[in-house]
C-alpha cells in the first residue's frame, strides 16, 4: 500500500525541470494575445450598452451559481437545505461594468500581461493577471466564446498555478546575468503540468463519450459529412471525394479513435509520440478544412506538457547537434577578453539549440559580424536582437579581461580552434 501511494505521489507530485511549462507558457502567451486582438477587432459589437451584448444580456447568459449548498443528494436524505449567506464569489473584475473605455483599458492591460507572460517577465504576476483578466473577459461576455476560449482559459489558469517562469523566461535570463542562479534548471514539483495533461485527457475523453454515447451520426460514421457541408464553416478547398462516403466513414472513425487515444494511450510512453502526432494530423486537417479560429492551435498547445522538461531540453539539443549542425558558429570575442560567468550562462540560455560558441579572438573590438552571428543563431534572442545596439551592448557588458575565468564553453571553443 505504502509503495503504491508512493508511486501515485511520485506520478502527480514528482520533481523535474520546468522546461516544458516554459515552452508552453510562450506558446499560450502568444495565442492569448492573438485571441485578445481578435476579440478587440469586434469590440464595439461585443462590449458596452450599445453593443449586441449589453450588460444585462451578458448576465442572463452566465450560469447562475445560486446559493444552495448541494451535498451530492445527501441533503435530500437528511432533509436539510443549506444555503450560502450571500452570492457566491466569481472571478469577474468587469462585473457590473458597461463603460466601453474602462473595458477597453482592461483589455489593454490583459494584452500587456499576455506579452509579459509570453516573454516571461515578472512571470508569476503577469500569468496571474493574465488568467484573472481572461476569466473576467470570458465572464463578461460568454455569448461569443467557443471551445478554443475554454481551452485557453484552462491553460492560463494552470499556468498561473505553475512555476512556468523558471524556464525559457526573461526572469531566468536576468537572474542568470546577475549570477543569482546557476545554469542548471531547478527541480520543482510538476503537479500543475500533470493537471494540464489530465485536463487534456478529460477534454478528449468527454467529447468522445458524448459523441459515441449519444451521437447517432458518429456511431454510423457519417458525422464528418455534415460538418464539411456547412458553408458557414468551410475553409480551404478540398476534393469532393474527401467529403463523401466511403471517405467520411474513415474520417469519422479516425476522429473517434484518435480522440480516445489522446485520452488514454497518450499516457503509455511507447505510444505517446504516435498518439500526439496523430492528434496533430487530426487538428491540422481540421484547421485546413474548417473555419474555427485558433481552436486547433489551442487544443494542441498543451501536447508539449506530455513531455518531461529534460525530454524537451534534449529535443532542442538533438536538433542543434544533428539537423541544425550546419548553423553552428564560433563568435570571436575581442582579444584578451572573455565572458563573465553570469553573462556566459545568459548567452548559453538564449541559445537552446547550442549553436553558438564564444571563442577568444584577436581583434581589439567586437565585430559587427560577430554580434550578428551571436543573436541570429540564438533562438531566444530573435525577439530583441534586431533592436539597434542592444545586442552589442549586452555582449560588451558581458566582457571581462583575463584568462583565469574562461567559461568551460569558451575553453571548449578555443580547444576546437587549436585542433582545427
Q: Provide the 3-class DSSP secondary structure of residue 9.
A: helix
Sole binder of another protein in the list 24, 46, 307, 358 (CB under 8 A): 46
Interactions with another protein, residue window 59-78 (CB under 8 A): 60-61, 63, 65, 68-73
- Backbone angles phi and psi of 357, in degrees to 5: -120, 125
Sole binder of another protein in the list 223, 339, 359, 371 (CB under 8 A): 223
DSSP character for 330?
E
CA distance 67 to 90: 12
CB of 311 to another protein, least distance (A): 19
CB of 202 to another protein, least distance (A): 5
DSSP character for 234?
B
Residue with smaller CB distance to another protein, 38 or 417: 38
Per rule CB under 8 A, is residue 41 in the interface with another protein? yes
CA distance 364 to 337: 9
Show the beta-strand stretches assigned E in 93-232.
188-189
Sole binder of another protein in the list 180, 235, 317, 397 (CB under 8 A): 235
Q: Provide the 3-class DSSP secondary structure of residue 50.
A: coil
Per rule CB under 8 A, is residue 180 in the interface with another protein? no
CB of 18 to another protein, least distance (A): 14
Sole binder of another protein in the list 2, 4, 79, 216 (CB under 8 A): 216
Sole binder of another protein in the list 43, 122, 198, 315 (CB under 8 A): 198
Residue with smaller CB distance to another protein, 92 or 329: 92
Interactions with another protein, residue window 3-22 (CB under 8 A): 9-10, 12-15
Per rule CB under 8 A, is residue 298 in the interface with another protein? no
Per rule CB under 8 A, is residue 143 in the interface with another protein? yes
CA distance 350 to 3: 41
CB of 8 to another protein, least distance (A): 10
CA distance to 4, 196, 230, 272, 305, per residue, from 10 (Å): 10, 16, 47, 20, 17
Per rule CB under 8 A, is residue 327 in the interface with another protein? no
CA distance 364 to 86: 73
Sole binder of another protein in the list 39, 266, 337, 359 (CB under 8 A): 39
CB of 189 to another protein, least distance (A): 4
Per rule CB under 8 A, is residue 99 in the interface with another protein? no
Sole binder of another protein in the list 52, 122, 267, 324 (CB under 8 A): 52
User: In sequence order, which residues have a C-beta less than 8 Å from that of residue 338 and are 6 or more positions away?
Assistant: 360, 399, 400, 401, 402, 403, 405, 406, 407, 410
Sole binder of another protein in the list 100, 183, 186, 215 (CB under 8 A): 215
**Long-range contacts (CB closer than 8 Å, 24 or more residues apart) made by 259-266:** 259/204, 259/205, 259/207, 259/208, 259/211, 260/204, 260/205, 260/208, 262/200, 262/201, 262/204, 263/201, 263/202, 263/203, 263/204, 263/205, 263/208, 264/201, 264/205, 266/197, 266/201, 266/306
Candidates 24-32, 36-44, 108-116, 357-365; binding stretch for another protein (CB under 8 A): 36-44
Residue with smaller CB distance to another protein, 15 or 415: 15
Amino acid at each position: 500500500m505504502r509503495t503504491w501511494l508512493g508511486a501515485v505521489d511520485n506520478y502527480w507530485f514528482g520533481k523535474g525541470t520546468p522546461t516544458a511549462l516554459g515552452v508552453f507558457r510562450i506558446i499560450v502567451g502568444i495565442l492569448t494575445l492573438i485571441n485578445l486582438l481578435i476579440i478587440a477587432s469586434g469590440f464595439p459589437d461585443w462590449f458596452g450598452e450599445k453593443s449586441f451584448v449589453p450588460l444585462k444580456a451578458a448576465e442572463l447568459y452566465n450560469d447562475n451559481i445560486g446559493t444552495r449548498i448541494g451535498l451530492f443528494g445527501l441533503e435530500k436524505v437528511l432533509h436539510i437545505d443549506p444555503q450560502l449567506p450571500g452570492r457566491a464569489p466569481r472571478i469577474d473584475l468587469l462585473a457590473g461594468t458597461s463603460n466601453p473605455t474602462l473595458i477597453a483599458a482592461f483589455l489593454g492591460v490583459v494584452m500587456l500581461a499576455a506579452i509579459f507572460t509570453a516573454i516571461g517577465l515578472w512571470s508569476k504576476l503577469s500569468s496571474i493577471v493574465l488568467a484573472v483578466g481572461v476569466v473576467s473577459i470570458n465572464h463578461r461576455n460568454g455569448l461569443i466564446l467557443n471551445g478554443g476560449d475554454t481551452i485557453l482559459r484552462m491553460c492560463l489558469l494552470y499556468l498561473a498555478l505553475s512555476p512556468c517562469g523558471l524556464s525559457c523566461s526573461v526572469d531566468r535570463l536576468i537572474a542568470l546575468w546577475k549570477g543569482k542562479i546557476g545554469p542548471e534548471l531547478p527541480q520543482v514539483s510538476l503537479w500543475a503540468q500533470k493537471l494540464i495533461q489530465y485536463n487534456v485527457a478529460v477534454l478528449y475523453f468527454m467529447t468522445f463519450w458524448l459523441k459515441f454515447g449519444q451521437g447517432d451520426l458518429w456511431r454510423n460514421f457519417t458525422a464528418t459529412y455534415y460538418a464539411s457541408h456547412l458553408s458557414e464553416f468551410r475553409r480551404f478547398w478540398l476534393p469532393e471525394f474527401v467529403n463523401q462516403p466511403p471517405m467520411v466513414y474513415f474520417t469519422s472513425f479516425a476522429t473517434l479513435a484518435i480522440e480516445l487515444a489522446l485520452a488514454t494511450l497518450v499516457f503509455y510512453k511507447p505510444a505517446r509520440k504516435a498518439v500526439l502526432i496523430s492528434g496533430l494530423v487530426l487538428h491540422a486537417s481540421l484547421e485546413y478544412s474548417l473555419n474555427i479560429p485558433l481552436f486547433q492551435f489551442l487544443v494542441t498547445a498543451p501536447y508539449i506538457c506530455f513531455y518531461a522538461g529534460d525530454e524537451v531540453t534534449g529535443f532542442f539539443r538533438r536538433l542543434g547537434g544533428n539537423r541544425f549542425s550546419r548553423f553552428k558558429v564560433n563568435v570571436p570575442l575581442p582579444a584578451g577578453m572573455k565572458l563573465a560567468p553570469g553573462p556566459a550562462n545568459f548567452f548559453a540560455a538564449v541559445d537552446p539549440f547550442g549553436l553558438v560558441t564564444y571563442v577568444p579572438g584577436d581583434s581589439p573590438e567586437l565585430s559587427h559580424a560577430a554580434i550578428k552571428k551571436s543573436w541570429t543563431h540564438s533562438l531566444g534572442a530573435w525577439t530583441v536582437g534586431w533592436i539597434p545596439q542592444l545586442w552589442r551592448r549586452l555582449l560588451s557588458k558581458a566582457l571581462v579581461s583575463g584568462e583565469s575565468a574562461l567559461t568551460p564553453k569558451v575553453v571548449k571553443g578555443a580547444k576546437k580552434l587549436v585542433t582545427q
